[in-house]
Amino acid sequence: MSRLSGFTNRWLVFLTALVLWQLATAASDNVFFPTPWQIIHHGWSLWFTTADGGFGLSDSIFEDVLPSTARAVGGWAIAAAIGITLGAALGRSRTGMQYVEPLFAFFRALPSPALLPVFIGLIGIGSDMKLSLIAFSCIWPVLMNTVDGVRSVDSVKTDTARSFGTPRTQWVAMVVLPAALPKIFAGLRLSLSIAVILMVVSELVGESSGIGANLVDAKAAFDFLSMWAWIVLIGIIGYVLNLALLAVERRALRWQPTRAAVASAKQTTKAGG
């Protein structure tokens, strides 16, 4: 019951905001601010209308939306793989980390969009450059969080595993990584939002395909309707990717109790004797 009302409540406010936006923009009639209805309508014609005017996925989906999204997800996945592996290795060695910690913290603090000229210089304009820039920017939060998580393994669990003569691979796979998982996921989420930013940024120069390129082109052509449509699309992509990652996280961290669940579990065990 409360769940249902919560659900309607959420969407109600969202829809109300949408309606208000519609009314305000329609009333002001400003070219900079098209109404949400116009934006949706335009987005439909951009992405869901084929060349002959019928319904279907447009060329823009295959030439702009999918390649851009694939680069963001791909770069992020590369960063995740490298970051977790390297982080798990470095987190086990305190001295090893001391050599590289300031450097990594520095890389994390670098505003990666400013590195775009460097990456263009080194790799050239192209998919490889974009992918590398995204991966480079996404690595640091995952890496640092993995190191943190791996270090936070409880001393009693360490002793327990040692007292059972646990071999190294089992120790890493079944104790260290699960213990570090909540932190790793926090890093992955941060990285994902960075990946979406860099997806846009990496397309701002050189080429004319991709989400970011279209956004800039629309602005340069004073095509505010398209600009808005692309901005909304980026928001939706960010939202969906985040949602997907949350679903994976929820599954992977299923074992983690919420405070409410712990409280109710205690109640039932007490009541049951």
Ranges within 71-100 binding other proteins (CB under 8 A) = 92-95, 98-100
Q: Is 244 near other proteins (CB under 8 A)? A: no
Q: Write phi, then psi, for 49 (nearest 5 degrees).
A: -125, 125
> Would you give the end-to-end CA distance of the chain in angstroms?
31
Taking the least distance from each CB to other proteins, the nearer of 55 and 255 is: 255
In angstroms, give the least distance from the CB of 17 to other proteins.
6
Query: What's the closest the beta carbon of residue 109 comes to other proteins, in angstroms?
Result: 3
Instruction: Report whether 42 contacts 229 (CB < 8 A).
Output: yes
The window from 39-47, 50-58, 80-88, 225-233 that contacts other proteins (CB under 8 A) reads 225-233
Instruction: Decide whether 49 or 252 has the Cβ nearer to other proteins.
Output: 252
Answer yes or no: are the C-beta atoms of 83 and 143 closer than 8 Å: yes
- Residue 49: beta bridge partners? 55
Q: For the CB of residue 256, give the shortest distance to other proteins in the complex, in Å.
A: 7
By the rule CB under 8 A, 23 interacts with other proteins: no
Question: Which SS3 state, helix, strand or coil, does residue 1 take?
Answer: coil
Per the listing, tokens 């791996």 go with: 150
Beta bridge partners of 55: 49
Both tokens assigned to 23 = 């009314």
From the list 50-58, 61-69, 73-81, 221-229, the region that binds other proteins by CB under 8 A is 221-229
Of the candidates 8, 37, 13, the one whose C-alpha atom is nearest the C-alpha of residue 24 is 37
- Provide φ and ψ at 71, rounded to 5°: -65, -45
Instruction: Give residues 166-205 in contact with other proteins (rule: CB under 8 A).
Output: 166-167, 170, 174-175, 178-179, 181-183, 185-186, 189-190, 193, 196-197, 200-201, 204
CA distances, 167 to each of 154, 172, 174, 266, 267 (Å): 18, 9, 11, 35, 38
- CB of residue 218 to other proteins, shortest distance in Å: 8
Q: Which of residues 101-120 bind other proteins (CB under 8 A)?
A: 101-103, 105-118
* Closest distance of CB 50 from other proteins, Å: 26
Establish if 148 lies at the interface with other proteins (CB under 8 A). Answer: yes
**Minimum CB distance to other proteins smaller for 8 or for 50:** 8
Q: Is 206 in the site for other proteins (CB under 8 A)?
A: no
Contact status, residue 237 vs residue 69, Cβ threshold 8 Å? yes
125 binds other proteins (CB under 8 A): no
**DSSP bridge pairs for 272:** none
Residue 147 token pair? 């190191």
Which x/- pattern, by CB under 8 A, does the window 47-76 give for other proteins? ------------------------------
